[in-house]
Structure 1
Amino acid sequence: MKAVKLAFGLICLAIVASDIVAMSRWGEARGVYDDICYLRQAHLFQRFGIGGLDTNAVRDDDHYFEGKMKEIGFADWKDPIRWPCHNPMPSGKVVLQYPPGTGFLLALFPEGHQVAPLYIAASLILCVLALSGLVMARTLPSVISAGVLGALAVYLMINPAKASYSVPPTMALCAVAGLLTSLWLMRNKRSVLLVALIGLLLGVSVNFRLPNALLAAGYFLILGLPFLWTRSLATFVRGLAFGAGVLVGMAPTLAAQAINAGSALATTYGSADVVAPVFDLAVFGQYLRDMQFVLIVLAVGATAWLLAAGEEHARQAALLTVGNLAFNLGFFMTHPIFTHYYVVPITMLSLWTLSFARLLQPLEAREAAPVRRKSTNLGVLPR
């Protein structure tokens, strides 16, 4: 088994090394609108500090964004109303539509060398967690599953993560949140501080992509339903701690929306981006033909397996992923726009959670036959 661990460890290291070589050669002028918009947010943070939350087009008085658009041959570079990724607000401002988190992370690195370090840092975090999973694995099946997940996660940092600068930090946070979620659920005594930290991380992820707010759906279910069942103070406090963590984590986005859109609850996205859900067979078909479908199958299959074969705490982790997958897949499968990374965050959060939940099971539970030991009651989820 040590040889298998070593083999998978070397595979993960080889993939991350290959990724780093490829990422170090990436340019920052691919001609993609999203790229230069995230870089504009980063530039604002580097110029104004926390004042960079204000993305009003008039703040481009140094012509940074205009210069970026000239580089990609954008015809209407002089007209802020025509700027990509910007929308007019009722106040008359023309502002960036994206939340500020991705731009903030890019701003931590020197201008002109921002993208590659962001991707490399996220890849290294994933590699460390992948190797940690291999170290924790104590049976051959768990070594293989941990190794495959680790190699897959690192591989995805090139494709499809390259499609958007918001994906790499989301991927890294999902992996860390998956580990912490398993640590929380696999204990008999559930820590309030730990669930608050998980909420904080999921809230922070909203600062990279607004749809990341859906990543918390399953958590609210397993924290809220037991409270309705038991009405105990302990379940209420855990739910309150998680909700407070989410709120604190997404505070930068709420502040940015207050500054740019006039209200913390108002969106900076245009009407064309805020659409009603609709089931479209064409969009559904695109998911079936995409790598994301493989991730969905893996996440659903791993959830079903852990529900059937896991011990009580592990089944509770699987119940959480059931709620999370249902909400997130339901949203994106009825979203009229398809991209190659929409369901990557929820599938990877689910897989990391399930993988670490399996690894943290007592050894005898992992070796036991897949027999249900005791029915899981939602009322006993938070202990």
Structure 2
Amino acid sequence: MADIRTEQLVKRFDTVAAVDCVSIVIPEGSLTAILGPSGCGKTTLLRCIAGLIEPDAGRILIGGRDVTHVPPFKRNLGFVFQRPAMFPHMSVYQNVAWALELRGWPKKGIKARVEEMLHLVRLEGLEGRTFRQLSGGQAQRVVIARALAPQPDVLLLDEPLSQLDAKLRDELKLEIAEIHRRTGCTTLLVTHDQGEALTIADNVLLMHQGKIMQEGSPLDLYRFPSNLFSAEFIGTNNFMPGVVKQAGARTVVQLDGTPLTVVAQRCPEGVSEGSAVWVCVRADDIDIIEEGDRARYENVVTATVERALLTGGTVIVQATVGDCKVRIHAGGSRRFGLLGSEGAAIYCGLGNVSLIARNAEAPQANS
């Protein structure tokens, strides 16, 4: 195992900075996800770390060793690509053994190591099968076993689930987490799927336009976005404009155009009394409550239902609070009573409330 560090890393393609002065630290033994939309630079960053792309500036260190100009095969990395990259003319056993033979493992130790890896990825009994005889999920597990077999310092995963159907993705992402737990290998996962990142990663780096926008635990990124991009990209957020009336551990904000105030437990850096902010509340962090339940919530607002739609087991409510449109993902036994309730006034108990400084940029949901 080893940690990964980049210092002011830059990679440009013509005039576009795909990686723009990125400095990150991936702790030894962690499972870290680089999350972001297509074209944000996350795969370019991963390939720079792997040595498949030469950066234009900055440094890459693995286990404290500067590997910026070291070829990939000398970095002791395991790499898993988007598509299951099995050798089609080899069996499952031969695919995994190949990686060990390439690294010069003693022949007498190869059989035991291959069996250990196939047990790790739950492919015992399939040693003789070829690529055409495996499902997509099984083939990708073979590739993961092959990458881990030579005991790399770091395992790099470039959207390893993107070519699988939804059911297989759900199964394999949990298997990746279990494999990490059992091996302890430092793992860096690139994905555009926030579900993958928030489900299995210890730490998430959110990337946009070549820069790291926010870093933290999945829960921190979900509950406390530090900028507008973070708030919009992860989950479904409602944005209500307001002005800070009292700043501190309990920050009080008055919503624009209404007498309503809400309280947030964190005050963003640079925000003080009089600052214009966006009050952010997740659609699934709003409870529709009875009047008698209001005392249980620090923040309660009254909303007017515009539309209620049944989507699977969830009722999606489109409503207004003052002049602001809000979206509510309603669960629980009361949700079906919202269908056909257009024009009704409802009490909304707000869960976590986060604040983002308001500038010239407006959230897409409010534009």
Q: Name the TM-score class by shorter chain.
A: under 0.3
Normalising by structure 1, report the TM-score. 0.25
Quick check: which one's helix share is greater?
1
Quick check: which one's strand share is greater?
2
Higher relative contact order (CA 8 A, sep 6+): 1
Normalising by structure 2, report the TM-score. 0.26
If you compute each CA radius of gyration, which structure gives the higher value, 1 or 2?
Answer: 2
